[in-house]
Structure 1
């Protein structure tokens, strides 16, 4: 074989190796969701890529067979065919004893560098840039190679699979996606400018619904406005005048004995039509939906959907009423500050301090202060609960808790309830920094 034929053979081997390398990287790195979308759009090649990804054993085997064969042939040609020409060229300028060794090393280095640059680095980097596009172009070639080397592929694949079974190592590709994975993708999309700030905010809040329990957004027991069935016309009208709620509970002596609820506008309409109206009249009284306080907001939303209701009474394990929740309360968690006209629960005073309402859900505090988790947070749901858990006593003004780089100090209480806290960055930690 002459020098021209040897170089041509090396170039051909580099091209083959480049095709195999780009096929390996692209098929392994192609995203399943993107391929599924392409397959749904009618691209049959994308469907073949998905099939190869589900059973990657034969694909990986044929890749290794191809790469090793090319590497061996490249070494044989480089050592056996190119070295004599390099030696003949160098012998014109020197007759040193080490000339033959240097010629061998030079031919080896030149062939190796050519394979590394043109058969590995360049094709792999191009394949990584657009793995799905490259994968669908290469899948036909790789499928043909699997068919061509079928006996060797089956032999080596069976040997490898047998060893994995003996070692009890799973080789099944896991494609499951967790909420954390999706949030990471959303964060990356926001940083890249693909998602708008509002879109990013909404998606994060939707996942919060699966983590938050209904008690984090309910109207608590002490703030529930209700009508007792014994109320006179005057008492009822005064209650409706003072509280502009669309729905009010009807009780029988106490809040833990709920008969149902009424729509304010329906009740007012009846009062306009007649002087005497019974709060237990079937024309106004509606059956209340009861839910346990352990449900997540997502589960509550599903219950509202299935029952056709948008109002529910929340009870605890002792069958005591702890609060009420409406569809609007649940959706406010999703929309949050985008539509809320209510007073903010977290107000930033300056660069180093915040005023936080005691009933603020932990998730909101964690987001505002960039805190990953609170200690044993499964035992409480609000920042007030965190303070009581850490203090191990009934809280009072000036009590404080030091946690991470923050100082949580109670600045206002009412009837043993924490109304407001001051959260500030700890000076000792700031000084150390």
Structure 2
């Protein structure tokens, strides 16, 4: 019985080493760092081990190797001999009883070591890596100091081989955007975060890749008014304005002389052009290629948070406000849609989508799972359609792309207004 207890103890100790190895290696360093800052016991030691994986893995390997040698030798010498004697006493030939005795013990010990000493502990480690890492870190650090000469030799040998192969010993401690997106998607699938939260997080991540042109309100949707109009006519137009801020141009629609805040206009009730001009606010001016995050920073520091977007030729392309940045993250608000507009993306019962031509390309990719190039000459679904067709489409024209059928169902003049996107049927396997 004592022999069985010793072997069982060695198998369990092997399990502790296996669990410690996987827990420390798979634990999140940022989370361990946060736990350490909160003063959680063992977190600092676990973080130190995780940041020196070579020494830690060498320590674990020393332990597992020694346990394997001791368990194999001890079980063979004691349990194997005892089982062989029992089989011989039961009437088996000496050669057969010896082979079955030692072979049987080795098979059983190997099975128990794989299941109880490896697989089960590693499953435990994967379930709560950070907590287990904190628990085992201090004993492992102590063992590393005790076995320092052997650990140093193994670690140095490993580093030497990596240098010979021209490889770095460890991967950089970085998290890619794709990994973040994958984690967010998994969290949404398991219910840890809401699906709307997932969409907003995706919007925030996309913001760094977007340009001013892709977040602005385009010129065609801007309520632009000409300062040179007869004041009575201009006043009548302003009184019917649908937006809270109205750009005012002079002589040419590209020459914006200021932006009128309608609340201030109605409060002041100017009687002529001169009085009206005193009310105009000076907006920021940004190029259409400026990054969305830089645009946000510009708006944050501006006294008047509205920016005119100009192209490389100085032509007025649209405006950007904090509301446009929020819309890029959270989506379009229903109150911002015109009375005759529907939502930009409506899913139908048959799995198809009725999409607005103004739907951003990023939102299109998210909705339909398309793989769009990062560098592209279009920012909207309408631009996507025109870019692939290479001409202004007519109502009823169809484009097939990445398993989807895009049909232009409505044109607003020369602008793509509505598109019906339906999944293409999957071809049967031959």
Q: Secondary structure at the match of 1:60?
A: helix
Match of 1:50 in 2: 47
| Superposed counterparts of 1:124-143, under 5 Å | 124-143=122-141
Q: Are the structure 2 counterparts of residues 95 and 353 from structure 1 closer, same or farther at C-alpha, using a change threshold of 3 Å?
A: closer
Match of 2:328 in 1: 333
Are 2:283 and 1:301 equivalent residues in the alignment? no
| Superposed counterparts of 1:27-46, under 5 Å | 27-46=24-43
Q: Distance in 2 between matches of 1:5 and 1:424?
A: 71
Q: 1:21 aligns with which of 8, 18, 28?
A: 18
Q: Distance in 2 between matches of 1:163 and 1:340?
A: 64
Match of 1:365 in 2: 364
**What displacement does 1:54 show?**
0.9
- Contact conserved, 1:270 with 1:277, CA < 8 A, in 2? no
- Contact conserved, 1:23 with 1:134, CA < 8 A, in 2? yes
Q: Are the structure 2 counterparts of residues 164 and 278 from structure 1 closer, same or farther at C-alpha, using a change threshold of 3 Å?
A: same
Q: Are the structure 2 counterparts of residues 337 and 223 from structure 1 closer, same or farther at C-alpha, using a change threshold of 3 Å?
A: closer
- Contact conserved, 1:377 with 1:386, CA < 8 A, in 2? no
Q: 1:220 aligns with which of 218, 221, 235?
A: 218
- Contact conserved, 1:220 with 1:322, CA < 8 A, in 2? yes
Q: Secondary structure at the match of 2:42?
A: helix
| Superposed counterparts of 1:15-164, under 5 Å | 15-96=12-93, 97-164=95-162
- Contact conserved, 2:370 with 2:402, CA < 8 A, in 1? no
Q: Distance in 2 between matches of 1:320 and 1:392?
A: 24
| Superposed counterparts of 1:275-314, under 5 Å | 275-278=271-274, 281-282=277-278, 284-314=279-309
**What displacement does 1:339 show?**
6.0
Q: Secondary structure at the match of 2:359?
A: coil
Which has the larger displacement, 31-40 or 340-349?
Answer: 340-349
Q: Distance in 1 between matches of 2:48 and 2:351?
A: 55
Q: Where do 5+ consecutive residues of structure 1 fail to align?
A: none
RMSD, aligned α-carbons: 2.4
Q: Where do 5+ consecutive residues of structure 2 fail to align?
A: none
Q: Distance in 2 between matches of 1:419 and 1:214?
A: 22
Q: Are the structure 2 counterparts of residues 88 and 223 from structure 1 closer, same or farther at C-alpha, using a change threshold of 3 Å?
A: closer
**What displacement does 1:320 show?**
0.8
Q: TM-score, normalised by structure 2?
A: 0.90
Which has the larger displacement, 201-210 or 238-247?
Answer: 201-210
- Contact conserved, 1:261 with 1:286, CA < 8 A, in 2? yes
Q: Distance in 2 between matches of 1:379 and 1:337?
A: 23
The count of corresponding residues between Structure 1 and Structure 2 is: 424
| Superposed counterparts of 1:323-402, under 5 Å | 323-336=318-331, 340=335, 342=337, 343-368=342-367, 370-374=368-372, 378-402=376-400
Q: Are the structure 2 counterparts of residues 100 and 361 from structure 1 closer, same or farther at C-alpha, using a change threshold of 3 Å?
A: same
Q: Are the structure 2 counterparts of residues 276 and 243 from structure 1 closer, same or farther at C-alpha, using a change threshold of 3 Å?
A: closer
Q: 1:208 aligns with which of 203, 206, 209?
A: 206
**What displacement does 1:89 show?**
0.9
